[in-house]
Amino acid sequence: MPHAFLLELTPSQGHPRPEYLSQYAHGLFFHLLRAIDPELAKIIHDKKRKPFTLSARQLREIVLLRITTLDDELFKPLLKVILQESLAGLSLGQDSYRVARVLATPEGHPDAGFISWGELYSAPPLRRLELRFLTPTVFTTSRSDGKRHYTPLPIPRLILQSLLSSFQHYSPKPYDETHLAGLALVFEEQLEVHRCEIRTQRYQAGKTVLTGFTGRITLHYPEHTAQVMQAVGRLGVLAFYSGVGAKTPYGMGQVRVVKESAW
Amino acid sequence: MPHAFLLELTPSQGHPRPEYLSQYAHGLFFHLLRAIDPELAKIIHDKKRKPFTLSARQLREIVLLRITTLDDELFKPLLKVILQESLAGLSLGQDSYRVARVLATPEGHPDAGFISWGELYSAPPLRRLELRFLTPTVFTTSRSDGKRHYTPLPIPRLILQSLLSSFQHYSPKPYDETHLAGLALVFEEQLEVHRCEIRTQRYQAGKTVLTGFTGRITLHYPEHTAQVMQAVGRLGVLAFYSGVGAKTPYGMGQVRVVKESAW
């Protein structure tokens, strides 16, 4: 069951302004994992694809840390250890924070929520998907010489492939090879950009600085294949939890599906 | 020798507001071609790749029509017939216009100019290419089922491939197969988006309405291959005349290379 929850963190003393917030949040998260189980922390650290996303922002004194978990086993022990560790204070860089509030439902905060895989499978089919990219988003692909190539553009294929890849990885019922190949072809060639407005900005993602884009896009699937529309619907729901593209554990690729477009 | 020149057209009477300016400009252009030689007009009309671009805009009473020619044989007869036909009036839709001025040099207008292929070949090499997309730009590719796919995003590969394709088609000394394959690979994988800011808008291109993007992008070529930097330099110069992407004979894909970035 994918979860998204927020920690409202208040400084234990002073008025800290953490400089490398995404890196500190990452460090805190692994500290918490180690407190659950050092072996688990090591396994997750070594995974190429991380089963969580983190995004932190400072609002006056408060740091709002949004955590999403894609791995079903992660949410409950994580919440437990957060509450335990909070007594001694949670560190962001050199500064100690207390958990003022945990917001884990959409009633508590619109960026929080959870959904069962069963509910996600029955998401309403979509022919049009409007996404807002709240934090800088970038896609990583491999060049033929093995080097990494970064694409800070909302290319429909890369957006949907990123989501599909998360779905395949975490869903208990991933698409089989045949369906997967069919979806890949549609995402490659048949999704149209109906509307788009983006700009790039530089982003400190841990120790590296990358160019990502923020803004919004509306993708349109002009054909009528029920299976594709169903997949787009599911992936749109998943996006809230998985984010899109690279460096989502450092706050990049935070997206929201726009349900009632004001565009 | 690629040419770019502007016709300042003033209405023979009244205050017309041509509704389908790109389509009317297209019609006028073929009228002029037929006046040069009906056979030539037919040949050009049947060409999939048109050896000209047209972009028209209305400034109060005046229509400013920018014409670029890529085919060496086109400029002189075209200019001659424009001056001849202007006596009887040039039609944009139902309305008649006179040629108030022809601006054919950069001194007369920054959007006018010409360059010999020899000068273009010796364009300074570039590792960074900053482009402004003045009119909506879209790329057309073929889907595997033969249908057209439109991409209104500034994908580096599509920008450079569009320019390279124009270069190959019109330059007296195109790249040979080996160099072409090398450039194609670099354009596919090695150009990076350094900065980008775009938004889409709908555009009436002749009889069809398409989504294109305007805005700006800076592309960066991080490697040091002299031949690639030379090609990027040449294609940047060509862009002023060829435009980029689809429907350039209807005013789409008008770009300018930014030499001194204010970004």
Position A206 confidence tier, pLDDT thresholds 50, 70, 90? confident
Position B27 confidence tier, pLDDT thresholds 50, 70, 90? very high
The per-residue pLDDT for A6 is 97
Least confident of A67-76, B124-133, B166-175: A67-76
With a cut of 80, say whether residue B261 has pLDDT above it. Answer: no
With a cut of 90, say whether residue B216 has pLDDT above it. Answer: yes
The per-residue pLDDT for A232 is 97
Name the residue with higher pLDDT: A18 or A197. Answer: A197
With a cut of 90, say whether residue B36 has pLDDT above it. Answer: yes
Nearest by CB to A151, from B193, B194, B199: name it. B193
Q: Residues of B with CB below 8 A from A149's CB? A: 189-190, 192
Q: Residues of A with CB below 8 A from B144's CB? A: 185, 189
Say how far apart CA A88 and CA B53 lie, in whole Å. 69
Name the residue with higher pLDDT: A206 or A34. Answer: A34
Position A260 confidence tier, pLDDT thresholds 50, 70, 90? confident
Q: What mean pLDDT do residues B38-57 have?
A: 95
Which value does ipTM take for this structure?
0.93
Say how far apart CA B21 and CA B55 lie, in whole Å. 9
Say how far apart CA A98 and CA A10 lie, in whole Å. 5
pLDDT digit string (tens) for A39-52? Answer: 999 999 999 999 99
Position A259 confidence tier, pLDDT thresholds 50, 70, 90? confident
The per-residue pLDDT for A31 is 96
- Comparing CA positions, the residue from A52, A47, A219 lying closest to residue A133 is A219
The per-residue pLDDT for A263 is 76
Tell whether B198 lies on the interface with A, counting CB pairs under 8 A: yes
Q: Which residue has the tokens 């090609």?
A: B231
Tell whether B197 lies on the interface with A, counting CB pairs under 8 A: yes
**Mean residue pLDDT across chain A:** 95
Say how far apart CA B88 and CA A83 lie, in whole Å. 86
With a cut of 90, say whether residue B19 has pLDDT above it. Answer: no
- The H-assigned helical ranges of B50-145 are 75-86, 117-121
The per-residue pLDDT for B72 is 81
Q: Residues of A with CB below 8 A from B210's CB? A: none
Beta bridge partners of B232: none
Say how far apart CA B171 and CA A82 lie, in whole Å. 66
Q: What mean pLDDT do residues B117-131 have?
A: 97
CA distance B182 to chain A (A): 13
Position A152 confidence tier, pLDDT thresholds 50, 70, 90? very high
Tell whether A184 lies on the interface with B, counting CB pairs under 8 A: no
Structure-token pair, residue B117 = 């292929």
Maximum Cα–Cα distance for chain A, whole Å?
58
Count CB-CB contacts under 10 A for residue B148: 9
Report in angstroms the alpha-carbon separations of A49 from A45, A46, A100, B125: 9, 9, 30, 40
CA distance A239 to chain B (A): 22
The per-residue pLDDT for A261 is 77
Long-range contacts of the stretch A112-115 (C-beta < 8 A, 24+) = A112/A4, A112/A5, A112/A6, A112/A66, A113/A3, A113/A4, A113/A240, A114/A1, A114/A2, A114/A3, A114/A4, A114/A75, A115/A1, A115/A2, A115/A237, A115/A241
pLDDT digit string (tens) for B60-87? Answer: 989 999 999 998 889 999 999 999 999 8
Between positions 119 and 158 of B, the ones with CB within 8 A of A are 143-144, 149-155
pLDDT digit string (tens) for A106-124? Answer: 999 999 999 999 999 999 9
Q: Which residue has the tokens 């490398």?
A: A20
